[in-house]
Amino acid sequence: STTESTPSTTESTPSTTASTPINTVNHCINAVYHCIYTVNHCIYTVNHSIYTVDNGINAVDHCINTVNY
């Protein structure tokens, strides 16, 4: 069985507005982090689905074993 993992990164909001070059860089970095966060969230959702299906299969197996023994 698989254990469910939580997203490793939290989503950060852009702390600055893109008005100066440094702020533009920060905004870019935040956009990248947001992208990574979204990918991690996707992976988390897929893992959650696998985890749910796996639990379902285990429950069915448990039922079959109970009937057999």
11 and 44 Cβ atoms separated by less than 8 Å: no
Residue 13 inside a domain? The answer is no
Domain of residue 68, residue span: 19-69
Q: What is the pTM of this model?
A: 0.50
Residue 24 inside a domain? The answer is yes
Q: How many domains does the chain have?
A: 1
45 and 17 Cβ atoms separated by less than 8 Å: no
The secondary structure of residue 9, as a DSSP letter, is S
* Cβ neighbours for 48, distance < 8 A, ≥ 6 positions apart: 4
Q: Give me the pLDDT at residue 62, please.
A: 92
Residue 4 inside a domain? The answer is no
Residue 2 inside a domain? The answer is no
Q: Among candidates 2, 12, 9, which has minimal Cα distance to 46?
A: 2
Residue 11 inside a domain? The answer is no
Residue 66 inside a domain? The answer is yes
Task: Spell out, as residue ranges, where the chain has pLDDT lower than 50.
Answer: 1
Q: Give me the pLDDT at residue 27, please.
A: 84
Residue 35 inside a domain? The answer is yes
